[in-house]
């Protein structure tokens, strides 16, 4: 046992003395020690209830013969951090979470681990740590929030942000804004649509590190507690067989996750996170592979914010196993590879068939290609991403004049003061991993455009990111970023930008000679940084590489 490093032999009597101070019995000293890594928090709705999940996991571990030890990680709620300085720390927190878990599980060597995340950067941060530590591991999330409802129409957080735009446009008054505010988020859980948190929880299931139901069983259902107990029991089975993340996270497993991502229409942030997780485990995965899989995989689900279908609806018709089973009918899923319990083939045998509505048949998809598209061109030679499954048909091709802003705040102010016109292409730069720093999400400007009625007439491109709650022609992760001298830094107001999502093109219609002249005059704006943001900006790489740290 790995835990013997701190509990076996005469020389470890001092360590055993400290363990006995915790109340451990002689019998427990001989059992496997299992980490329960939890991100419970009093002020994140997706994490408010995670202590109950952790208690159920520990019950499962004990019933299967292990000794659980819980510790907690930090976590940022992207919704609370949105549109102010706090969002600069969201993506940054992913690396801190991975590093802190490495610290804890190296300083206190345990034998296996159950990870309990639920929201945006916490899920990939824990996945990266699981890869790095390579202990027998199972993930169990806190589950999605139930959708809210206002005037008989179900809704989620994305509609709440859009309501702010409607208020700015004078479409609703303050009383109605307040009523929507009280209706959008009815209780605990990760926000109800296929935003980043639910995307990553679904993909953790698809890649094989979580049990069926991890991505879709609602937070408030008893099934979530049962799943947590099963996760605690199953990690002991993995320990007994010495099955580790490196045995599960193979190239074929990542391909399954990417196929599921495209079929579900997940958040564009999953491109960043899957790339970073693959880097951590040593699996080759780049934006070109993601683009190829996108072109080959039909989108068979259209969930909020692209529709009024929520995670709870997906759960009722079979969840992720049913989606993967339908993809497998077209030979798009690798079946004979391991998961934390059995093979993918065994997992899908008892899954229900696609219902034809929430999960469409592959012969009748919402789109013949995936929910995420990778665009390239002179603005983004290393790539950019768009959630094409949430783009209005009339915006799949768009040509318009640039309106340039060097921060999210400036762009939001211009949008909400109605200075953006139909047909414009809003450009938000110096918000990339290095330039932000922190690669902020841009839900406020995109939701404002939608709420003001311009979601089907105005495009937005940025070297920052978009929330999974974003819909519309919102193109993010433009690489190279402005701070690294990318072409996005050279765009000027009035320049024509050509967007062609079906052809995967993002072009600035300015000649090379003029761009060379602008480059000679260009200088990146100076930002006075300190603390963790300063270190992050010095270490982080391009968004096209998953915004991982330099090796």
Annotate 29-55 with DSSP letters as a single string.
HTSPEEEEEE---TT-TTTTTHHHHHH
- Can you tell me which residue has the tokens 């072109």? 295
- Name the nearest CA neighbour of 45 among 100, 118, 109: 118
Strands 148-150, 153-155: pairing is: antiparallel
Neighbouring-strand partners of residue 176: none
Listed in order, strand segments (DSSP E) in 224-293 are none
> Which residues are within 8 A (CB) of 483 and not within 5 positions of it... i.e. 6 or more apart?
430, 432, 434, 435, 463, 489, 524
Distance CA 131, CA 280 (A): 6
Q: Angle at which helices 287-296 and 251-264 pack, to 10 degrees?
A: 60
What are the structure tokens assigned to 535, written together? 């270190």
DSSP annotation string for 322-355: HHHHHHHTTT-S--SSB-SSSBHHHHHHTSPPP-
- Catalytic positions are 467
Q: What is the DSSP string of 145-213?
A: PPPEEETTEEE-HHHHHHHHHHHHTTSS-HHHHHHHHTTS--SSSB-SSSSHHHHHHHHHHHHTSB-TT
Contact assessment for residue 319 and residue 309, using Cβ atoms and an 8 Å cutoff: no
């Amino acid at each position: 046992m790995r835990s013997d490093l701190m509990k076996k032999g005469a020389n470890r009597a001092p360590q055993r003395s400290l363990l006995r101070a915790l109340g451990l019995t002689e019998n427990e000293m001989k059992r496997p020690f299992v980490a329960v890594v939890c991100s419970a928090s009093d002020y994140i709705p997706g994490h408010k209830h995670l202590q109950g999940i952790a208690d159920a996991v520990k019950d499962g571990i004990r019933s299967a013969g292990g000794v659980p030890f819980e510790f907690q990680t930090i976590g940022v709620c992207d919704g609370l951090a949105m549109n102010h300085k706090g969002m600069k720390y969201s993506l940054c927190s992913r690396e801190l979470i991975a590093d802190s878990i490495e610290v804890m599980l190296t300083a206190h060597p345990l034998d296996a681990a159950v990870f309990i995340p639920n929201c945006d950067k916490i899920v990939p941060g824990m996945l990266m740590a699981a890869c790095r530590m390579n202990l027998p591991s199972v993930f169990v999330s806190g589950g999605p929030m139930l959708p809210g409802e206002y005037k008989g129409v179900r809704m989620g957080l994305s509609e709440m942000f859009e309501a702010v735009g409607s208020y700015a446009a004078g479409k609703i008054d303050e009383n109605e804004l307040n009523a929507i505010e009280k209706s959008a988020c009815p209780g605990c859980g990760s926000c109800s649509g296929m935003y980043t948190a639910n995307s990553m929880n679904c993909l953790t299931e698809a890649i094989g590190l979580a049990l069926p139901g991890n991505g879709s069983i609602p937070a408030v259902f008893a099934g979530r507690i049962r799943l947590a107990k099963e996760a605690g029991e199953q990690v002991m089975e993995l320990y007994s067989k010495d099955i580790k993340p490196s045995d599960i996270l193979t190239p074929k497993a990542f391909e399954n996750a990417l196929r599921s991502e495209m079929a579900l229409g997940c958040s564009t942030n999953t491109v960043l996170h899957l790339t970073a997780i693959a880097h951590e485990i040593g699996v080759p995965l780049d934006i070109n592979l993601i683009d190829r899989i996108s072109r080959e995989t039909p989108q068979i689900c259209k969930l909020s914010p692209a529709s009024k279908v929520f995670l709870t609806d997906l759960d009722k018709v079979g969840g992720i196993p049913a989606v993967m089973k339908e993809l497998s009918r077209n030979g798009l899923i690798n079946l004979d590879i391991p998961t934390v319990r059995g093979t993918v083939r065994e997992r899908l045998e008892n899954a229900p068939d696609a219902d034809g509505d929430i999960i469409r048949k592959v012969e009748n998809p919402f789109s013949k290609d995936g929910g995420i598209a990778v665009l390239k061109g002179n603005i983004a030679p290393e790539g950019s991403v768009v959630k094409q499954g949430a783009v209005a048909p009339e915006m799949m091709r768009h040509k318009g004049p640039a309106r340039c802003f060097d921060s999210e705040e400036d762009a939001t102010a211009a949008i909400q003061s109605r200075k953006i016109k139909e047909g414009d292409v809003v450009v938000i730069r110096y918000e990339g991993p290095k330039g932000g720093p922190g690669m902020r999400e841009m839900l406020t400007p995109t939701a404002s455009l939608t709420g003001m009625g311009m979601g089907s007439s105005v495009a937005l491109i940025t070297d920052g990111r978009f929330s999974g709650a974003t819909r519309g022609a919102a193109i993010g992760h433009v690489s190279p970023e402005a701070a690294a001298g990318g072409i996005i830094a050279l765009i000027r107001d009035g320049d024509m930008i050509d967007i062609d999502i079906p052809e995967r093109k993002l072009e600035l219609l300015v000649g090379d000679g003029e761009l060379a002249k602008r480059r000679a005059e260009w200088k990146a704006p100076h930002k006075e940084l300190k603390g963790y943001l300063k270190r992050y900006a010095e270490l982080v790489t391009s968004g096209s590489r998953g915004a991982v740290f330099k090796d």
